[in-house]
Amino acid sequence: MLQLVEAERSGEAVNRYLLKHTVAMLTNLRLYEDGARDMLLSSAIQYYNREGSSLINELELAAYLVHCERRLAEEFNRCEAYLGFALRKPLKDILDQCLLEAHMSSILDSSMRLLASCQEQDLGRLYSMCARIGALQGLRLVFRDYIRTAGSAVVMDEHKEEEMVSRMLKFRADMLSVLRNSFANHAEFAQALKEGFEACLNSRTDKPAELIARYLDSILRRGSKAGAQESSLEEVLDAALALFRYVQGKDIFAAYFKRIMSRRLLMGRSASMDAEKLCISKIKAECGPQFTNQLEGMLKDIEISSDIMSGFKHYIAAKPGSIVDMNVLVLTSGFWPSYRAFDCLLPTELVRAQKEFAEYYLSKHGGRKLAWHSTSSNCVVRAQFPMGVKELQASLHQATVLLLFNESEQLTFSEIQAALKLEDSELRRTLASLSLAKEKVLRKEPASAEIGPQDVFKFNEAYTSRLFRVKINNLQMHDSDEDSKKTNEQVLQDRFHQIDAAIVRIMKMRKSLSHNLLLGELASQLRFPTGQADVKKRIESLIDREYLQRVEHGYEYLA
């Protein structure tokens, strides 16, 4: 009988009718439970031990799991046909031990490939088997470690930084699908996903926060078009902010988002104010009102400026004469990031328009002071080229340079600088954008790649473009490495102040603490990662300023 059962397991056809009656006879003689049953189970252990050791190395994991599932169904069928229902549980335990538990280490190692290719059906099969034998903790750790490893590879890839957020969003969507369809939304696996993404997104200090801010900028510039391939703009924002939720350096995100948002609003590149408000409301729900106070103030300034300009246009229409058509944004300095201001002598028409607006505004809002920022301003200049009339979208500095050529056919660098009183570096950038960039509306002699003090500039009569309105590359409005460095330095300085305040707050309450306990308290209070070297420097600074003093066991607060 043992040979026939093993033959059937090996795929041979056997006489089940004969086996069924043999088992019945042994049962009636009370020999089945007393000896034959144990021999059958011992034979099954030997058979499946051999099979498991052989197939685990021969088959791909997906095929091996299907084989294990099929073997369980066959044994249950065999019990129903002739072995008896009492053997179902012992045989299931043997299969689990010999085919799964004995090779769990190899199975879990190979499961990384299933995760990499998102084989949800096979992963679901593995999840069910691990749940059956109590091995879910091992699978959970594999899931977490795979997310951490694969995600870190994306985050650390400096050559594809611009694609990092979109790649991470795709990766997160795949892992969420696996969690939902394969792992039954198990709470511990959801926690593993969270831990994995936190680990990989924070494996590179601060950069992911900056890139998420830039990705949101691209979404808010496109508006509803950003959600064309997905359900809605709101879902696109939710997905991006889900990554933001994992990032520890939220102050870096805030600094970059504020600077990029200000540029988007000042240049009129926002697709929708409703989308801006939706995004800020979601950030507010995540981080609290203090985090978004300045962002909301920026949007409010833009809306109020629209009402101010409506009143100004009525004011100008009632006065004799006309001024240059202009739109002014009145901004509250406390809400907006600071931009470097450049002094520049403006054309008479613009000076007159500024005076008219200042007169109107201050008559409505007494006691306030207006400071004009030319760096963030832009203009539309109508230019008459021999090949046709064009409208040039330019910065205010570019426009002031172009207007000088109404009076002169050619000008040297020194003559332009004398006429505008513009700082040397800013003038060089402006002239480079007009004579060396894609839209060369000025000709430079000599034709070198650098702007020199002896260079001569002429109106480019040969300029042509298939567009009527041409955008001149606005070099000074793009983020430079210097801007990024300045933003990072500002955030670092803010962090130092927060570390100082947290240390003083903790020590004032505890009076004295050891170094390690102080580090633990700091980690729970600060919202950004801190290195021990940074904390040590801040402690030294506080000791020098007599907020703390060293004692034998650590530090003591000085009242």
Could you give the 3-state DSSP secondary structure of residue 556? Answer: strand
Q: At 133, list the tokens.
A: 């034998």
Instruction: Specify the pLDDT at position 483.
Output: 65
Given the DSSP bridges, would you call strands 456-459 and 469-471 parallel, antiparallel or unpaired? unpaired
Instruction: Specify the pLDDT at position 62.
Output: 95
Calculate the alpha carbon distances from 413 to 194, 385, 426, 445, 457 in Å: 57, 22, 12, 11, 7
Minimum mean pLDDT range among 58-62, 156-160, 545-549: 545-549
CA atoms within 13 A on the CB side of 294: 16
Given the DSSP bridges, would you call strands 469-471 and 442-445 parallel, antiparallel or unpaired? unpaired
Distance CA 92, CA 76 (A): 8
Of 57, 71, 169, 60, the closest CA to residue 114 belongs to: 60
Q: List the domains of the chain with CATH numbers.
A: 2-108 (1.20.1310.10), 378-479 (3.30.230.130), 482-557 (1.10.10.10)
Show Cβ contacts of residue 21 under 8 Å, excluding neighbours closer than 6 positions: none
pLDDT digits (tens, 9 = 90+) for 145-171: 999 999 999 999 999 989 999 999 999
Bridge-partner residues for 443, per DSSP? 458
pLDDT digits (tens, 9 = 90+) for 64-123: 999 999 999 998 998 888 888 888 999 999 999 999 999 999 999 999 999 999 999 999
How many residues appear in the chain?
Answer: 559
Minimum mean pLDDT range among 69-78, 344-353, 490-499: 490-499
Distance CA 481, CA 490 (A): 14
